[in-house]
Amino acid sequence: MKHHINTTLRRIAPQLVILAGVLLLNFLVFPDFFRIEFQHGRLFGNLIDVLNRGAPTALLCIGMTLVIATKGIDLSVGAAMAIAGAVAAALVVDGHSWQVALLGALCAGAVCGAWNGVLVAVLRIQPIVATLVLMVAGRGIAQLVTEGTILTFLNPGLIHLGAGTVAGIPTPILIWLGLGLAVTAIVRKTALGMLIEAIGINESSSRLAGINSRVLIISVYLISGFCAALAGVIVAADIKGADANNAGLWLELDAILAVVIGGNSLLGGRFSIIASLLGALIIQSVNSVILLSGMPPELNLVIKALIIIAILVIQSPTVKHALYILRASADPIPPGSIKEAKESPQ
């Protein structure tokens, strides 16, 4: 057990260091950053804000991590969020309870995910292309549900999911933490995680080894759609309305970025949901630095781009190989080289 925790810690160490660095930067530009207060029955503070605002990206990256581990990608999560938000809003506006609305939204997300999964696993269309269809058509479908308007609602139960608190902690934080832990537990306490990794590393051989890759691939897209639906409901509940055009716009890219920052290879294989969640928090903390330091928010995208480029350079097989040779030539029997070789993807 202790050994297991040690490996996990070693895996997420780079993400923890980066997160600590970004949080420290936050502290430097805004000394009150770490202060958390308890007022009017809920926690207040910048740290809580980071956890709360990062909820949609964090939720999306749970499903995205699994999809990317199978060597896939899901571009449609932003559109699925818009559809789920629209369905939830339409249901409460029609006078249904918030439970029905939530269930309807989750079903809508699951249908979106299943559609993607069938295109990828049964019709064998490349994931980028298969999910592009829903990415293009999805916002149109969401607008069909909201009939082109921003559907506003006042249902307290639904709003509670996005803006309420449970025991002083904002609900979105509890939702993403809970789902993240649950999915991690399911894939790591059973063989599912290993099977998903096997599909990502080599689908043909995993199939020959007896893995039902078709069902597993459909399920990971289903989970991704489910996560997107939850994120969509939270975003809609937060603004008390479903905006088919802007809900979750470009969040698919943030989710993919979170997975990449989490050190997961886009080429499939080994994955860590915890590292992806840390990636989502890193993105949100960077946003927070930019806002708190008074830099123009326009710089946000430039900084994100620079982060991606830096990670690309670090993760690139060419650079890894060069570093390996450099280290090997500096030290005849390099103690770290064996570990390094194990970590680099095939």
Partner 1 sequence: MIRSTHLPLLITIATFLLAYTLCAWQYPSMLSTRVLANLLTDNAFLGIAAVGMTFVILSGGIDLSIGSVIAFTGVFLAVILRDTSIHPLLAFALILAITISFGASMGAMIHYLEMPPFIVTLAGMFLARGAAYVLSTDSVPITHEFYDTLQSLYWKAPGGGRFRLTGMIMLLTFAAGIIAAHRTRFGQNVYALGGGLQTARLMGVPLAKTTIGIYATSGGLAGLAGIVFSLYTSAGYSLATVGVELDAIAAVVIGGTLLTGGTGFVAGTFFGILIMGLIQTFIVFDGTLSSWWTKIVIGGLLFGFILLQKGLTWATTLRRKPAPEFAAQS
Would you tell me which residues interact with partner 1 (CB under 8 A)?
73, 123-126, 128-130, 132-141, 143-144, 148, 203-204, 207, 244, 253, 256-257, 260, 266-267, 296, 298-306, 308-309, 312-313, 315-319
CA distance 151 to 244: 9
Q: Where are the beta strands (DSSP E) in 68-128?
A: none
Question: Residue 134 or 223: which CB sits closer to partner 1?
Answer: 134
> Which CB atom, from 173 or from 247, has the smaller least distance to partner 1?
247
In the complex with partner 1, the residue whose CB is nearer, 82 or 237, is: 82
Helix axes 251-261, 55-69, angle to 10 degrees: 70
- Least distance (Å) from partner 1 to the CB of residue 240? 22
Report the residue number, 230 or 256, with the smaller CB distance to partner 1.
256
Sole residue written with tokens 């060597």: 71
Nearest to 90 by CA among 137, 135, 141, 131: 141
**Distance in Å, CB of 23 to partner 1, minimum:** 22
Q: How far is the CB of 250 from partner 1 (least distance, A)?
A: 8
CB 249, min distance to partner 1, A:
8
Cα 184 from Cα 338, distance rounded (Å): 28
DSSP of 185-205, one letter per residue? HHHHHSSHHHHHHHHHH-HHH
Write down the least CB distance from residue 259 to partner 1, Å: 10
| DSSP for 67-81, written as a single string | HHHTT---TTHHHHH
How far is Cα 76 from Cα 228, in angstroms, rounded to an integer? 9
Q: Tell me whether residue 43 or residue 244 sits nearer to partner 1 (CB atom).
A: 244
